[in-house]
């Protein structure tokens, strides 16, 4: 009779078991996914370190630009030879300058390559009061120039990105297509962040590439696996209570 009395209770465990398998399986899957993300992120960080520390190579020829993928060129160290088009400077707002200088602008200038084509170069940071070209005349480098830096894909906008102010040559993303179109130019689909180097008058400050990539995937994976273990402990306690409590 005791066995018969327990049967309805045991049959009622079907729903809790299915719930445990569904939720537990999801938690474990998320943990495994984060481990895959961890491996990908570690590979990406290693690739970036290799590219940024390599000797500069020639920038890809203009004939190949349409076929370039950001995965293949991001953070590649390159050198450019040509001339700055100083009359077409774009200011990209930058919220936190180096050395606690506060907000300011990144100076993005078209660079006419000797080999043909135009690349938008992120020359570096200036404070807000140095946004106007007239406030830093020594920074207007004329004549044949060699620039080294890192190739970067366009910076994308999001819901919180303010509208550009093209009438003031002020932008809020480092998007070469937008900036080139503003100046009536056809430019490369990437920009080059100039390396840190001495500048006449001290401005702009180069080497502004942000390469501190967060890697929290291991902690995320441990969190998901921990939740799965916690769920298992709760479920076992629930089964014991149902089994021996009837």
Q: What is d(CA 198, CA 201) in angstroms, rounded to the nearest whole number?
A: 9
Provide the domain limits for residue 237: 2-44+215-245
**Could you give the number of structural domains in the chain?**
2
Domain shared by 132 and 191, yes or no: yes
User: Residue 240: its pLDDT value, please?
Assistant: 85
* 32 and 96 fall within a common domain: no
Q: Is residue 168 part of a domain?
A: yes
Q: Are residues 94 and 186 in the same domain?
A: yes
β-pairing, 57-58 vs 145-152, is unpaired
Q: Quick one: pLDDT at residue 214? A: 80
| Dihedrals phi, psi of 196, to nearest 5 degrees | -65, 130
Instruction: Give Cα separations from 2 to 5, 12, 14, 239, 245 (angstroms).
Output: 5, 17, 20, 18, 13
Residue 149: predicted pLDDT: 97
According to the model, what pLDDT value does residue 1 have? 44
Confirm whether 50 is domain-assigned: no
Nearest CA-CA partner of 48 in 8, 75, 26: 75
From first CA to last CA, the distance across the chain in angstroms is 13
In a domain, 69, yes or no: no
What CA–CA distance (Å, rounded) separates 8 from 146?
82
CA distance 106 to 123: 7
If asked whether residues 182 and 239 sit together in one domain, one would say no
Q: Which structure tokens are listed for 116?
A: 């043909």
**CA 152 to CA 20: how far, in whole Å?**
46
pTM of the complete model: 0.80
* Pair (80, 152) in one structural domain: yes
Q: How far is CA 124 from the centre of its chain?
A: 18
CATH number at residue 177: 2.40.50
181 and 221 fall within a common domain? no
| Residue 58 included in any domain | no
Residue 221 tokens read as: 């994976």
* Pair (82, 186) in one structural domain: yes
| Same domain for 181 and 126 | yes
Geometric angle at alpha carbon 233, from 227 and 236, rounded to 5°: 140
- Tell whether 88 and 32 lie within a shared domain: no
- 237 inside domain: yes
Does 84 reside within a domain?
yes
Same domain, 109 and 194: yes
pLDDT at 10: 55
- Within the chain, residue ranges assigned H as helices are 2-11, 14-53, 70-73, 176-182, 217-245
DSSP state of 149: E
* CA-wise closest residue to 117 among 66, 45, 166: 66
Burial of 59-78, coded b for 16+ CB within 10 Å and e otherwise, reads bbebeebeeeeeeebbbbbb
- Considering the domain boundaries, does residue 119 fall inside one? yes
pLDDT along the chain (246 residues), means of 10: 51 81 93 92 87 95 95 95 96 89 96 97 96 92 96 94 95 97 97 94 92 85 93 89 72
Whether cis (ω within 30° of 0) applies to the bond prior to 196 is no
* Domain co-membership, 146 together with 102: yes
Question: Which structure tokens are listed for 215?
Answer: 């890697």
* Shared-domain flag, residues 118 and 36: no
Residue at 174 is within a domain: yes
């Amino acid at each position: 009779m005791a066995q018969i009395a327990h049967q309805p209770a045991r049959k009622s465990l079907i729903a809790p078991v299915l719930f445990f398998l569904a939720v537990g399986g999801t938690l474990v899957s998320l943990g495994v996914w984060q481990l895959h993300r961890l491996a990908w992120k570690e590979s990406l960080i290693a690739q970036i370190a290799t590219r940024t520390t390599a000797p500069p190579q020639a920038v890809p020829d203009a004939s190949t630009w349409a076929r370039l993928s950001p995965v293949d060129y991001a953070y590649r160290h390159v050198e450019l030879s040509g001339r700055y088009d100083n009359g077409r400077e774009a200011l990209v707002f930058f919220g936190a300058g180096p050395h606690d200088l506060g907000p300011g602008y990144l100076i993005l200038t078209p660079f006419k390559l000797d080999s043909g084509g135009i690349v938008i170069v992120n020359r570096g940071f200036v404070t807000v009061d140095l946004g106007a070209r007239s406030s830093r005349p020594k920074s207007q480098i004329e004549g044949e120039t060699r620039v080294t830096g890192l190739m970067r894909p366009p910076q994308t906008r999001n819901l919180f990105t303010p509208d550009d102010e093209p009438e003031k040559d002020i932008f809020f993303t480092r998007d070469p297509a937008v900036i080139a179109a503003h100046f009536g130019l056809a430019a490369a689909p990437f920009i080059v962040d100039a390396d840190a180097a001495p500048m006449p008058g001290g401005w702009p400050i180069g080497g502004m590439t942000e390469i501190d990539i967060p890697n929290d995937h291991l902690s995320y994976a441990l969190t998901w696996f921990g939740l799965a273990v916690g769920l298992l402990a709760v479920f076992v306690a629930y089964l014991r209570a149902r089994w021996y409590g009837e």
